[in-house]
Amino acid sequence: MNPLAILGSGMVTGVGFNAPASCAAIRVGITGFQETRFMFDGAWLTGCEVSFEQGWRGREKLLQMITPAIQECLDLIGNTPAQQVPLLLCVAEPERPGRFADLNDSFLRDVQTRLDQTFHGDSAVISRGRIGPIEALARADTLLSRGRPYCIVAGVDTLLTASTLNYYHEKRRLLTNENSNGFTPGEAGAAVLLAPSKEQPLPQLCCLGLGLGMEKATVEAEEPLRADGMTQAIKAALADGHCTYSDLHYRITDISGEQYGFKEAALAESRTLRERKEEFDIWHPADCIGEVGAAVVPLVLGVALAAARKGYAPGPGVLCHFAADGGDRAALVLRYLERTA
């Protein structure tokens, strides 16, 4: 892929109603975990809900979470008309239990109506869940190379619906009193503003490489896990970004509490890291906001951007990696490029 500059981000999460507030809370480890209205294993389920005063639910709540996040990005484009900016809007995959209906073109139209904006004709809804924003980044690369000045990649999702929670509880994947090997469900909307790196001034956080893989031994499979898919994705991202581990200083991932995710990350690191590193920290924002599905990739990019700009990142090089339940794996290589003179 061509290097992409990440110019800004927007967020609505269980710990903040904008990107600065959310990133500050995640930085210091503030959690938005609280008892929900759902009960499993004899106790109220803990989740991370975005608590609006109006008590919105369902599809309306998705709109209320994503429109402010996108507006944060629009505030950065100056006098550029929104008609020149494609919006790639990522939502839950159709096969996931509890997914709301009409998360297609009508959802995109409703977002535009709420924002009172019309985005470029190449705007689209991508219904691939957690891995959808990775596809959106690849599309954004193509659109920007064709002359678009900016592109917005956004994701919104909630796992706090009865059908979704019942499904994951039956699979014994929720964190409850009876199951310590599970995740805390959450919800969020997040967006990032992208532009061609070469056309933006330094300093900038740049996405240099993208890699994909496919894992057969998924979280619900019986096969032994070797992290083949994640290993493939990381190697591809490093090659695409012309980087090695010596250029990387920490990781941010979508790991949300299940042992599977930590094991996969450790195996992938052991199979790709061939040099000594004194420290190679791993950040997982889900510790503060829970599992947020299709919103996690733009949220991770926003966290990396805040860490780079505010100087609390361990270094300029970042490895991000993501895993979907269906087996899709993806990795991104980011680097904060500073002025050389």
Which tens digit of pLDDT belongs to each residue from 241-255? 999 999 999 999 999
7 phi/psi in degrees, rounded to 5: -90, -25
The span from the CA of 204 to the CA of 181, in Å, is 38
- For β-strands 87-91 and 124-127, DSSP reports them as parallel
Bridge partner residues of 322 (DSSP)? 330
Better-scored residue on pLDDT, 199 or 320: 320
pTM: 0.96
Q: What is the pLDDT of residues 188-240, one digit of tens each?
A: 999 999 999 999 999 999 999 999 999 999 999 989 999 999 999 999 999 99
Domain-terminating residue out of 153, 169, 199: 199
On whether both 76 and 156 belong to a single domain, the answer is yes
Quick one: what percent of the chain has pLDDT higher than 70?
99
On whether both 331 and 230 belong to a single domain, the answer is yes
Indicate the SS3 state at residue 211: strand
> How high is the mean pLDDT of the chain?
95
Q: Buried (b) or exposed (e) across 310-341, using 16+ Cβ within 10 A?
A: eeebeebbbbbbbbbbbbbbbbbbbbbbeeee
Please report, for the domain that includes residue 219, its CATH number.
Answer: 3.40.47.10
Host domain of residue 225: 207-337
Residues 6+ apart with CB under 8 A from 100: 58, 59, 62, 92, 161
On whether both 268 and 171 belong to a single domain, the answer is no
Q: Does pLDDT of 292 surpass 70?
A: yes
Handedness of CA 65, 191, 303, 263 (dihedral sign): positive
The span from the CA of 130 to the CA of 296, in Å, is 7
On whether both 166 and 51 belong to a single domain, the answer is yes
Indicate the SS3 state at residue 17: coil
Q: What is the pLDDT of residues 101-114, one digit of tens each?
A: 889 889 999 999 99
Helix spans in the chain (H): 19-28, 58-74, 105-115, 132-145, 162-170, 228-240, 259-272, 286-289, 296-310
Do residues 96 and 163 touch, judged by C-beta distance below 8 A?
Answer: no
> What confidence score (pLDDT) does residue 242 get?
96
On whether both 301 and 237 belong to a single domain, the answer is yes
* Rounded mean pLDDT, 91-108: 92
Domain-terminating residue out of 138, 165, 199: 199
Q: Does pLDDT of 59 surpass 80?
A: yes
On whether both 62 and 179 belong to a single domain, the answer is yes
> What confidence score (pLDDT) does residue 274 get?
87
On whether both 254 and 142 belong to a single domain, the answer is no
> What confidence score (pLDDT) does residue 308 get?
97
Q: Does pLDDT of 314 surpass 60?
A: yes
On whether both 194 and 212 belong to a single domain, the answer is no
Domain count, the chain: 2
On whether both 170 and 288 belong to a single domain, the answer is no
Domain-terminating residue out of 199, 217, 243: 199
Indicate the SS3 state at residue 197: helix
On whether both 187 and 244 belong to a single domain, the answer is no
> What confidence score (pLDDT) does residue 275 get?
86
On whether both 120 and 232 belong to a single domain, the answer is no
The span from the CA of 109 to the CA of 114, in Å, is 9
On whether both 227 and 194 belong to a single domain, the answer is no
The span from the CA of 188 to the CA of 226, in Å, is 31
